[in-house]
Structure 1
Amino acid sequence: MTRRGPLLLGIDLGTQSAKVVVHDSTGGVVAQGRRALRPLARPVPGVAEHPDDDLWDATAAACREAVSGLGDARGDIAAVGLCGVRFCRALVGSDGRLSAPVMSWMDERVSRPHDPVREAATVCAASGHLTRRLTGETRDAAGSCRGQWPVDTDRWDWSRDDEVVASYGLRRAQLPTLVAPGAVLGTVTTEAAGATGLPAGVPVVATSNDKAVEALGAGLREPEDVLLSLGTYVAAMVTGERDRPELTASWTNFGSEPGRYLHESHGVRQGMGTVTWLSALVGPSLGAGDGSWEERLEVEAARVPPGAEGLLTVPDWLAPPDEPHRRGAFVGLDARHGAGHLHRSLLEGLAMTMGDHVAAMARELERPLRRVLLTGGGARSAVMRQVVADVTGLPVHVGDATDSAAGRGAAICAGVGTGVFAGFAEAVAAMVPRTAPTSPDPARHETYQRLGGALRGLRAALGPSLREAQGALGEVRP
Structure 2
Amino acid sequence: MTSAVLAVDQGTSGTKALVVCPERGVLGTGFAAVRPRHLPGGRVEADPAELYDSVLDAGRRALAEAGEDVVALGLANQGETVLAWDPDTGRPLTDALVWHDRRATTVCAGLEAHAEELRQLTGLPLDAYFAAPKMAWIRRHLTGEGVVTTSDAWLVHRLTGAFATDAATAGRTQLLDLDRTDWSARALDLYGLAGERLPRVTDCAGPVGTTTAFGPEIPLTGLITDQQAALLAQRLTTPGGAKCTYGTGAFLLAPTGPAPRRSASGLAGCVAWRLGGRTDYCLDGQVYTAASAVDWLTGLGVLSGPADLDRVGAAVPDSGGVTFVPALAGLAAPWWRGDLRGSLTGLGLDTEAGHLVRALCEGLAAQVAELADAVAADLDTPLDALRVDGGLTRSALLLQTQADLLQRPVEVSEVPDATALGAAALARLGADPALALADVLPEAKPSAVYEPRITPDEAAARRASFREAVARLLDRTPV
User: What TM-score does the superposition give when structure 1 sets the normalisation length?
Assistant: 0.85
What CA distance in whole angstroms lies between the structure 2 residues aligned with 1:439 and 1:144? Answer: 34
Q: Does 1:182 align with 2:205?
A: yes
Q: Give a deviation string over 1:17-65, Cα, whole Å, max 9, x none.
A: 11111211147221111111123263x5354321252211221111122
**Change in CA separation of 1:246 and 1:331 when aligned onto 2, cut-off 3 Å:** closer
Bigger strand fraction: 2
Task: Name the residue aligned to 1:289.
Answer: none
Residue among 228, 235, 240 paired with 1:219: 235
Partner of 1:264: 284
Given that 2:17 and 2:58 are in contact with CA atoms closer than 8 Å, whether structure 1 keeps it comes out as yes
The residue identity in structure 2 corresponding to 1:216 is L
Which residue in 2 is equivalent to 1:154? Answer: 179
Distance 2:280 2:20 in 1: 24
Q: Which residue of 2 aligns with 1:276?
A: 295
1:13 paired with 2:32, answer: no
How far off is 1:431 after superposition?
A: 4.5
Retained in 1: the 8 A contact 2:405–2:462? no
| Correspondence for 2:97 | 103
Q: Deviations over 1:318-370 (max 9, x none)?
A: 12486355222222223443222211210111101221221122123202211
Q: Per the alignment, do residues 31 and 456 of structure 1 end up closer, same or farther by CA in structure 2, a change over 3 Å counting?
A: same
> C-alpha displacement at 1:374, in angstroms?
0.6
Question: How many correspondences in the alignment?
Answer: 440
Give the letter for the 1:357 counterpart.
L
Bigger Cα displacement from structure 2, 313-322 vs 17-26: 313-322
Describe the SS at the equivalent of 1:69.
helix
Task: Describe the SS at the equivalent of 2:205.
Answer: coil
Q: Are 2:418 and 1:405 equivalent residues in the alignment? A: yes
1:235 CA displacement: 2.4
Change (3 A) 1:250 1:237: same
Match of 1:170 in 2: 193
Deviation of 1:417 after TM superposition, in Å, equals: 0.7
Q: Does 1:50 align with 2:75?
A: no
Shift of 1:173: 5.5
| Superposition map of 1:265-344 within 5 A | 265=285, 267-283=286-302, 293-305=305-317, 307-320=318-331, 323=337, 325-344=339-358
Deviation at 1:303, TM superposition (A): 4.1
Q: Which residue of 2 aligns with 1:92?
A: 85
SS at structure 1 position matched to 2:320:
helix
* Residue of structure 2 aligned with 1:379, choices 389, 393, 401: 393
Matched with 2:153 is 128
Q: Secondary structure at the match of 1:260?
A: strand
Instruction: Look up the SS of the partner of 2:193 in the other structure.
Output: coil
Distance 1:118 1:296 in 2: 44
Residue in 1 aligned with 2:117? none
Contact 2:385 2:411 (8 Å CA) reproduced: yes
Aligned to 2:32: 35
Are 1:456 and 2:475 counterparts?
Answer: no
Unaligned runs of 5+ in 2: 105-130
1:257-285 per-position Cα deviation (integer Å, ceiling 9, x unaligned): 431111113x321222101211232246x
| Aligned: 1:208 with 2:224 | yes
Conserved 8 A contact 2:291-2:306: no
Contact 2:261 2:282 in 1 (8 A): no
Give 3-state SS (helix, strand or coil) of 1:451's partner: helix
Q: Take 2:198 and 2:164, find their aligned partners in 1: how far apart are those partners?
A: 9
Aligned to 1:470: none
Kindly provide the amino acid, as one letter, of the partner of residue 244 in structure 2: L
8 A Cα contact 2:165 2:223, kept in partner: no
Which blocks of at least 5 consecutive residues in structure 1 are unaligned?
193-197, 285-291, 468-477
Report if aligned partners of 1:398, 1:437 keep a CA contact under 8 Å in 2: yes
Question: Per the alignment, in what secondary structure is the counterpart of residue 344 of structure 1?
Answer: helix
Paired residue for 2:63, among 67, 71, 77? 67
Give secondary structure in 2 for the equivalent of 1:154: coil
TM-score by length of 2: 0.85
- Secondary structure at 1:297 match in 2: helix
1:426 CA displacement:
1.9
Q: Deviations over 1:164-222 (max 9, x none)?
A: 43333325561111211111211113xx2xxxxx2432111233221111111222224
Secondary structure of the 2:63 match is helix
Q: Is the 8 A contact 2:175 2:183 kept in 1?
A: yes
Mean alpha-carbon deviation: is it higher for 130-139 or for 433-442? Answer: 433-442
Cα deviation, residue 304, structure 1: 2.9
CA RMSD across the alignment: 2.5
Work out the CA distance in 2 between the residues paired with 1:131 and 1:124: 11
CA contact (8 A) 1:325 1:463 kept: no
